[in-house]
Amino acid sequence: AWKKYQTKGFSTKEEFEKDVVRHVETTLARSMFNCDETAAYAAASLAFRDRLITEWNRTQQRQTFTDSKRVYYLSLEFLMGRALDNAMLNVGLKNVAKEGMSELGFRIEDIIEQEHDAALGNGGLGRLAACFLDSMASLNYPAWGYGLRYRYGIFKQEIVDGYQVEVPDYWLDFNPWEFPRHDITVDIQFYGNVRKYQDDKGVQTAVWEGGEIVKATAFDVPIPGYSTPTTNNLRLWSSKAASGEFDFQKFNSGDYESSVADQQRAETISAVLYPNDNLERGKELRLKQQYFWVAASLYDIVRRFKKSKRAWREFPDQVAIQLNDTHPTLAIVELQRILIDLEGLEWDEAWSIVSQTFGYTNHTVLPEALEKWSVPLFQNLLPRHLQIIYEINLFFLQSVERKFPKERELLARVSIIEESQPKMVRMAYLAIVGSHKVNGVAELHSDLIKTTIFKDFVRIFGPDKFTNVTNGITPRRWLHQANPRLSELIASKTGGYDFLKDLTMLNKLEQFADDKEFKKEWQEIKYANKVRLAKHIKATTGVTVNPSALFDIQVKRIHEYKRQQMNIFGVIHRYLTIKAMSPEERKKLAPRVSIFGGKAAPGYWMAKTIIHLVNSVGAVINKDADVGDLLKVIFLEDYNVSKAETIIPASDISEHISTAGTEASGTSNMKFVLNGGLIIGTCDGANIEITREVGENNIFLFGNLSEDVDELRHAHTYGRHELDPNLTKVFDSIKSGTFGDVNSFSALIGAIEDHGDYYLVSDDFLSYIQTQDLVDQAYKNQDEWVSKCIISVARMGFFSSDRCINEYAESIWNIEPLTPEDGN
Ligand code: 26Y
């Protein structure tokens, strides 16, 4: 009967306006007469939220009634960015909203700008999770994301006197995109101890007792698919003390302060995102976060499964759980614990269910990013889990010994417990042992994990357990939303916006690679995007840049392996070259703007030094009248998802120059090419597959290959290490004080001169600057350049996250799409 009351939501601008006015006047309790942009944003979002929630409810009902297999994507990071623009585009009502808002006296762009980014992630891994959510909904997969509702997302970056300063990102003041579910809570236990009972039949059961309880509350974020009936759910957990507002016993006995302190300690768990990207620190609070989130999510998943009244052995037919890196690996142990301790299953049956349920995605080979937790820490915080880990390890090592008798060293190498002082739990090994599939995120990376860090496990489990799923990006946000004019131009040539659902349709553009009219429009769009970025640069840094210059952009987390230091050394080399040129020679040069952006982990001193150097170099070059427009150096403050949407469409060339073998995939490389920019890059990560797709002529590759890296490093350490002479000149100029205080940068230079140049900056430097010269030459021939860009975009279809999610669905999750036609 209730079905007749279900609404479809607004579909005309008049209906939309009515909803907005209603929300301003009732939900927000304001008057339209003093409705500012903040209130207008709030009301417009609430209007769209209402729509989404109707679709969300229907999607959930559909999935429940058909009892479909669902995938659960467990990620400690979801770097969502803004939601309103995305929601408007995905439900196909942006134009309705634009006209409606304009009648109410607002420009839609200004309204969109009001929204605070949801920045619950560090970089690539977190943004990948967000792209995956978009694709899973757009492809109608029954899928949930599970994460933490951090009160503080990644910090805001301010640049003060050339140095990074971190400012807390308190983003929850007003967030219309989340629904608190105060009725959905889970009690999570920490500390305590384990008691073993023997019943009359001699069966042993373990009981985890005592310790403290923290309450997890669910907050749901609707995830609309693009032009689909599916709105999936992202469930984020928030922590608070279990006994309600206060511990009343303490409260009554007059211990008010300590009861408030308990409350705060519990809330600390979901308070802040750890700002390290690819750098593991082993902090207890982080392990607490992981268990809190994993335990709440599994309780929720198991509760949902139990409603279906199926037998436990059917669990893997109903549930797939994907681990976004090792951060949620405790889920493996927690599910085993639930099955044996709480549900009474035998170990073997439980373990078979567990290991069929999980898949593990690895995102890095860097040793400093591999998670290890100390056994004493574990013992104290999660005593029962440590026991189960020891059992898992015992059975695993026994099976290895049966298969490879007498290989004692192998056993030590693959043991989940590292026999160090203190002993450590190796989370990646645990994830491998407890999953049915392990995947890397680009071909080279997947090969590397099989031949290096997980080599022994390939022998043990066979090669089929290890697979590759090359990353992708959502074309909805990274083309349609970020670059609406380019999207419109593409639509006009490929027969509408279908390419946004099947990105391989971009190949229809290739026939226009020499079309004069098309190329002109293409160029105009790029120019307009550069003008927009130039305005942003002017407004935020005060520096005037020429939109006709070549925009050379490197935006990503600052890390030595990503080699922003090589980029800025290249800029200094260019500066020195220009200074030494005659006026005639200078006339032949292509003007260039070198743009940097990205955050350094607050404790990563070397990364902060790189930021300082970029700013110091910019301060000198940008005011050198002698150089003028030929070279400008910009550091863009606080790079984030919404800024990326402005920056990426404005690039001519972008830099993806990691030491070969270190960048697992990279995903901004895909975003830049999709927006009509070319790449200068190393043979690393997804650059290799991008090259295969777009063709070697349409990318600027340079540098040593990953198979040569070990030997070069060895030579640095044991042989003579002669620096590239061009680099020496750059260092000389820094050391002479050209860019300010010499001591500031000595560690950066020292790492290369004196400490083995681990990232091969010197080895790749000549090849890098020569390739930059090729870029200059190529850019001068605008006609050919634009053709290269068009051809590249036409060949980027492979890098849609839709293709990527379909691969996961088929080869790892074994799930099918579900639409209203399929049932319900
Ligand atoms: C253990 C903890 C300190 C940690 C926290 C965050 C470790 C790693 C990370 C983040 C890793 C990350 O963002 N990796 C990136 O994942 C992308 C998506 O697969 C890849 O494209 C990119 O190459 C990789 O660096």
Q: Is 369 in the pocket of ligand 1 (CB under 6 A)?
A: yes
Is the predicted pLDDT of residue 526 greater than 70, yes or no? yes
Summarize the chain as % helix, strand, coil (round to 5): 55, 15, 30
Determine phi and psi for 556, rounding to 5 degrees.
Answer: 180, 170
CA nearest neighbour of 119 among 82, 74, 146, 89: 82
d(CA 160, CA 638): 12
d(CA 663, CA 679): 15
Q: Is 206 in the pocket of ligand 1 (CB under 6 A)?
A: no
d(CA 265, CA 251): 16
765 CA distance to ligand 1 middle (Å):
26
Number of Cβ atoms within 10 Å of the Cβ of 450: 19
Is the predicted pLDDT of residue 245 greater than 60, yes or no? no
**551 belongs to a structural domain:** yes
d(CA 249, CA 255): 8
SS3 500: helix
Query: In this structure, are 583 and 715 located in the same domain?
Result: yes
Told to judge if 363 belongs to the known catalytic residues of this protein, a careful annotator would answer yes
Q: Is 684 in the pocket of ligand 1 (CB under 6 A)?
A: no
- Mean pLDDT in residue range 607-618: 98
Told to judge if 116 belongs to the known catalytic residues of this protein, a careful annotator would answer no
| Inter-residue contact 637 to 540 (CB < 8 Å) | yes
Is the predicted pLDDT of residue 3 greater than 80, yes or no? no
Question: Which CATH number covers residue 200?
Answer: 3.40.50.2000
**89 belongs to a structural domain:** no
Q: Is 75 in the pocket of ligand 1 (CB under 6 A)?
A: no
ipTM above 0.95? yes
- Would you give the end-to-end CA distance of the chain in angstroms? 16
| Inter-residue contact 204 to 197 (CB < 8 Å) | yes
- Mean pLDDT in residue range 724-736: 98
- Mean pLDDT in residue range 303-324: 98
Range of 178's domain? 66-82+117-470+808-822
| Annotated catalytic residue, options 69, 437, 557, 612 | 557
Note the pTM of the prediction, 2 decimals. 0.97
- Mean pLDDT in residue range 663-677: 98
**53 belongs to a structural domain:** no
d(CA 796, CA 475): 10
Query: In this structure, are 556 and 460 located in the same domain?
Result: no
| Annotated catalytic residue, options 671, 716, 788, 795 | 671
Query: In this structure, are 143 and 191 located in the same domain?
Result: yes
Ranking 220-224, 717-721, 799-803 by mean pLDDT, the lowest is 717-721
3-class SS string, 59-78? HHHHHHHCCCCEEEEECCCE
Q: Is 365 in the pocket of ligand 1 (CB under 6 A)?
A: no
- Mean pLDDT in residue range 202-206: 85
- Mean pLDDT in residue range 169-173: 89
Query: In this structure, are 817 and 790 located in the same domain?
Result: no
Q: Is 273 in the pocket of ligand 1 (CB under 6 A)?
A: no
Q: Is 125 in the pocket of ligand 1 (CB under 6 A)?
A: yes
What is the tens place of the pLDDT at every residue in 423-481?
999 999 999 999 999 999 999 999 999 999 999 999 999 999 999 999 999 999 999 99
Mutate to test the pocket of ligand 1, among 74, 75, 76, 125 (most ligand atoms within 8 A of CB): 125
**106 belongs to a structural domain:** no
Query: In this structure, are 404 and 417 located in the same domain?
Result: yes
Percent of the chain whose predicted confidence (pLDDT) is above 70:
98
127 CA distance to ligand 1 middle (Å):
10
Q: Is 276 in the pocket of ligand 1 (CB under 6 A)?
A: yes
d(CA 544, CA 797): 36
DSSP per position, 31-60: -GGG--HHHHHHHHHHHHHHHHHHHHHHHH
- Mean pLDDT in residue range 378-399: 98
**11 belongs to a structural domain:** no
Query: In this structure, are 292 and 408 located in the same domain?
Result: yes
**294 belongs to a structural domain:** yes
What is the tens place of the pLDDT at every residue in 181-190?
999 999 999 9
710 CA distance to ligand 1 middle (Å):
22
Number of C-alpha atoms within 13 angstroms, CB side, residue 13?
11
Closest residue by CA, ligand 1 atom 21: 666
Number of Cβ atoms within 10 Å of the Cβ of 465: 18
pLDDT band at 255 (very low <50, low <70, confident <90, very high): confident
d(CA 179, CA 100): 26
Percent of the chain whose predicted confidence (pLDDT) is above 90:
92
Is the predicted pLDDT of residue 683 greater than 90, yes or no? yes
Q: Tell me whether strands 631-636 and 466-468 are parallel, antiparallel or unpaired.
A: unpaired
Q: Tell me whether strands 358-361 and 437-440 are parallel, antiparallel or unpaired.
A: parallel
**Who contacts 645 (Cβ-Cβ below 8 Å, separation ≥6)?**
81, 477, 478, 481, 482
Mutate to test the pocket of ligand 1, among 279, 290, 293, 364 (most ligand atoms within 8 A of CB): 364
**30 belongs to a structural domain:** no
CA nearest neighbour of 221 among 22, 53, 346: 53
Query: In this structure, are 466 and 497 located in the same domain?
Result: no
